[in-house]
Amino acid sequence: MKKQWLQVATALIIGSTTLVNAEGYTQADRIADMQKMAQAMQDIQSGLLYNNLDIIKAGTKVLKDTIIKIRPIDEEVNNKDIYEKWLNNNLKMTNKIQKKIRNKAQTLEERFADGDAVQALQEYSKIIGQCMQCHVRLRKW
Ligand code: HEC
């Protein structure tokens, strides 16, 4: 009996944490995250041009840590129609793009570390392509 209650309490705590995490992502937060990623991309570009692996690594780290935060903002979550659209189409798209950007950032770093700057640059442009894919599609939401 006691154990069951503990499980219920744990579930409640985990549940409410999830709820808290799902809220509080504002448009300002998302814009800040976007600007962070734009800066990271610039840093990566500098790293490529100045042939500096540390700068590239710093950039890909920020990029990988920030892209996973991108999601619908509170306003979209609270608007049933928009949120349904997010859940049906855009959340899937977002997850896919997030995964691709993280993978490509990892590959970029590895190729550059291996001395293949040309391949690293190709990964760079693929990442920008993913950013733009969301931006272009997003304008229709
Ligand atoms: C899943 C969708 C999505 C992806 C992926 C995405 N963005 Fe965005 N981006 C947005 C949205 C939505 C906005 C508009 C933010 C707002 O005004 O609420 C935006 C806006 C921006 C802005 C303008 C911010 C401002 O100051 O107004 C920049 C810069 C930006 N994104 C950079 C990037 C970069 C760089 C990447 C890729 C590494 C990227 N974005 C990937 C959805 C995305």
CATH number at residue 37: 1.20.120.10
Q: How far is the CA of 135 from the centre of ligand 1 (A)?
A: 6
In a domain, 11, yes or no: no
| Domain ranges, residue 88 | 25-138
Atom of ligand 1 nearest to the CA of 137: 2
- The predicted model gives 61-89 an average pLDDT of 86
Q: Is the CB of 18 under 6 A from ligand 1?
A: no
Determine the Cα–Cα distance for residues 83 and 114; give it in Å rounded to an integer: 43
- Cα-flanking dihedrals φ and ψ of residue 83, to 5°? -65, -40
Report percent pLDDT > 70 for the chain.
81
In a domain, 12, yes or no: no
How many domains is the chain partitioned into structurally?
Answer: 1
Q: Is the CB of 38 under 6 A from ligand 1?
A: yes
In a domain, 14, yes or no: no
pTM for the structure as a whole: 0.84
Question: Look-up: residue for tokens 């969301």?
Answer: 134
In a domain, 10, yes or no: no
In a domain, 58, yes or no: yes
pLDDT of 5 reads 52
Does the structure show a pLDDT above 70 at 84? yes
pLDDT, one tens digit per residue, over 96-139 is: 999 999 999 999 999 999 999 999 999 999 999 999 999 988 76
pLDDT of 11 reads 47
- The predicted model gives 4-15 an average pLDDT of 49
Determine the Cα–Cα distance for residues 40 and 45; give it in Å rounded to an integer: 9
